[in-house]
Amino acid sequence: MVNPNHVTLNHGGVPRLPRVCVGWAGRAARALTTLVSASVLAAGALTLAPAPARAEDVITTQEYFSYYHLDAARAKGYTGKGVTIALIDGPVDTSVPELKGANIIDKSRCTIEASTQGRIHASDMASILVSPYFGVAPDATLYSYQITTPSTISRGTCESTGKNLDTMPALINQAIDDGAQIISISQGGDNNSESVKWAVARAMSKGVIVVNSAGNTGSDNNADQLSHWSGVVGVSAITPTGERADYSSWGNGVVTSAVGGPFKTRSYDDPTKPAESNGTSNSAALVSGMLALALQKWPDATANQILQVLVATGLNPNHEWNPYTGYGAINGGALVNTDPSQYPDENPLAQKQGGSSPTAEEVQNYADGLVDLAALTFDGSFVYRGTDETLVLLAELGTPNPVHLGTSPRYHRK
C-alpha cells in the first residue's frame, strides 16, 4: 500500500508524487480522473516518438480511454451532450478520420497559416475532446478558434484585418460571446496583459470555466501560463502510474493534474507517419472533457459549484494543495457523481496560492461595469456604468462599448 505521505525525489530534486489511482465505478478511484494536455508555446512542444501503427489507419483508441473507464461513462449516457466547449489553438483539421462525425464549428473571425505542428496539435486536442472513437465528451459541441503562436507560419487573413482577432483576450471574449461553457487552452504565451486579465475576469463573472495546460518545461512555469490568473484551472501532467511527469511544469496556478500520455498522433515532420506524444496539453483537454461530463450531469449547477467539486474530489491526501498536482489528480468518477448543490456558489479559485489576479474586487468591478474601457479587447457586451465623464468622449468617437454614466448596480446596493 502506498504511504500517502511518502515523497521520493527524481533527478534534479523534484518531488515525485506517489501513485494516484482513479476510478469510474468500483475500481478504487480511477474513472474519469485526469485530463492531459501540453503547452506548445512558452512551455515547449509535445514530446513525439515513433509509433508502430500505420499512419493511414484510423486511430480508434487511446490508453487514457480505458484508464479513465470512459466506456462506462458512455454506457451511462455521459457524453457531454448539450455542452459547448471552446478550443483556442491552431486550426483543427476536421478531415482527419478520428474527427469524422464530431460536431466541430470553426468560429474564428480570421484564419492563420499554421505549421504542420500547429495543425496536428489542434486536431489532437479536438480529438481528445470530441472524437467519436476516444473523445471524452464525444457529443459536446466544439467551437474552434485559431490563435497565432510561435509555430505559426503567418497570421494570414488575421494580419490583413488590422485588428488583433487572433490574440488570447480577443478569443476568450469571443468564446464567451458565442456561448461556450468551457474554454480549453493548451497554449502558453500572451498571458500577462491587462486585456487578458479582464477577459478572465469576465469569464469568472459570467460562469465560464477556463482550463489551461501548465507547460512542459519541467520547472516552475507559472508566470508564463494563463493558469497563473485567478479562476483558471491549471492542469499539470502525471504518468499512467500516477507519478508527476518529469516534463510537466508546476506552480501556484496548478489546480489539478491528468495523464499526459502516451497519446497516439502523427509526426510533425511527416504526418503520414505515426507518432506518440506526451504533454500537459493532453492533460488539459482531458480535464476540459471531464468538466463537460459534469456540466451535462448537473445542468442546474453553477460553474463555481462544479469547480468546488473538482477541488473537493482531488486525489491528493485530504485534497491538500501542492504546486505539482494542485489538489490532486482529477477524479472523474467523483466529479460526475457528486451533487454540486451541496457546495456554495463561490469560485474556489478566486484567490490562488501566493495571491493572484483578478482579485475578487476586480471581478466585482467588472460585473458592476466599472472597468476602464481602454483595458478591454473585443468585449462587446461590456457597458461602462461608472462616473468617469471622459469615457463619454470615447463612446462618441466610436468605442464599441456603450457608456451609461452612474448606472452601476454598486451605487444602488444597500
Residue with more model confidence, 47 or 15:
47
Local confidence band at 189 (pLDDT 50, 70, 90 cut-offs): low
Same domain assignment for residues 251 and 373 = no
Q: Is the N-terminal amide bond of 340 cis, ω within 30° of 0?
A: no
| Predicted confidence (pLDDT) per residue in 101-129, tens digit | 999 999 999 998 988 899 999 999 999 99
pLDDT at 150: 83
Instruction: Render 189-202 in DSSP notation, one character per residue.
Output: SS--SHHHHHHHHH
Mean pLDDT of 137-154: 93
Which letter does DSSP use for residue 18 in this model?
P
Mean pLDDT of 177-205: 91
Spatial distance between the Cα atoms of 109 and 107, rounded to a whole number of angstroms: 6
| Domain termination site, one of 295, 327, 353 | 295
Per the listing, cell 508564463 goes with 224
3-state DSSP assignment of residue 285: helix
Spatial distance between the Cα atoms of 337 and 25, rounded to a whole number of angstroms: 10
Q: Report yes or no on 254 lying in a domain.
A: yes
Mean pLDDT of 55-69: 86
User: Is pLDDT above 60 for 37?
Assistant: no
Q: Report yes or no on 362 lying in a domain.
A: no
pLDDT at 18: 37
Please check whether residue 199 is in contact with residue 168, taking contact to mean a CB–CB distance below 8 angstroms.
yes
* Residue 405 CA to its chain's centroid (Å): 36
Spatial distance between the Cα atoms of 324 and 56, rounded to a whole number of angstroms: 38
Residue (of 400, 382, 403, 381) closest to 391 by Cα position: 403
Spatial distance between the Cα atoms of 414 and 412, rounded to a whole number of angstroms: 6
pLDDT at 13: 30
Same domain assignment for residues 40 and 189 = yes
Spatial distance between the Cα atoms of 213 and 95, rounded to a whole number of angstroms: 26
User: Is pLDDT above 50 for 26?
Assistant: no
In angstroms and rounded to an integer, the radius of gyration of the C-alpha atoms of the chain is 21
Q: Report yes or no on 142 lying in a domain.
A: yes
pLDDT at 149: 85
Same domain assignment for residues 200 and 289 = yes
pLDDT at 406: 94
- Out of 116-120, 178-182, 229-233, 373-377, least confident range: 373-377
| Domain termination site, one of 266, 295, 324 | 295
H/E stretch holding 154 reads none
3-state DSSP assignment of residue 60: coil
pLDDT at 50: 47
| Predicted confidence (pLDDT) per residue in 81-104, tens digit | 999 999 999 999 999 999 999 999
User: Is pLDDT above 50 for 365?
Assistant: yes
pLDDT at 47: 52
Residues paired with residue 16 on neighbouring β-strands, in sequence order: 8
> The domain spanning residue 258 has which CATH number?
3.40.50.200
Grid cell of 368 as nine digits: 458592476
Please check whether residue 66 is in contact with residue 314, taking contact to mean a CB–CB distance below 8 angstroms.
no
Residues paired with residue 182 on neighbouring β-strands, in sequence order: 85, 209
Angle at 90 between CA 89 and CA 92, to 5 degrees: 100
Q: Report yes or no on 301 lying in a domain.
A: no
Residues paired with residue 277 on neighbouring β-strands, in sequence order: 48, 263
Spatial distance between the Cα atoms of 399 and 231, rounded to a whole number of angstroms: 28
User: Is pLDDT above 70 for 160?
Assistant: yes
Same domain assignment for residues 378 and 253 = no
- Please give the span between the terminal C-alpha atoms of the chain, in angstroms, as a whole number: 56
Same domain assignment for residues 53 and 195 = yes
- Could you give the percent of the chain with pLDDT greater than 70? 84
CA dihedral 316, 321, 324, 328 (to 10 degrees): 30
CB atoms under 10 Å from CB of 99, counted, come to: 22
pLDDT at 393: 77
Same domain assignment for residues 126 and 223 = yes
Spatial distance between the Cα atoms of 290 and 230, rounded to a whole number of angstroms: 21
Q: Report yes or no on 198 lying in a domain.
A: yes
| Predicted confidence (pLDDT) per residue in 39-58, tens digit | 333 333 355 554 444 445 78
| Domain termination site, one of 265, 295, 325 | 295
Spatial distance between the Cα atoms of 277 and 289, rounded to a whole number of angstroms: 19
Buried b (16+ CB within 10 A) or exposed e, 287-309: bbbbbbbbbbbbeebbbbbbbbb
Q: What is the pTM of this model?
A: 0.86
Mean pLDDT of 257-277: 90
Mean pLDDT of 135-164: 91
| Domain with 380 in it | 369-412
Same domain assignment for residues 249 and 374 = no
Residue (of 30, 40, 351) closest to 213 by Cα position: 40
pLDDT at 272: 79
Same domain assignment for residues 291 and 373 = no
The count of structural domains within the chain is 2
Same domain assignment for residues 290 and 167 = yes
Q: Report yes or no on 353 lying in a domain.
A: no
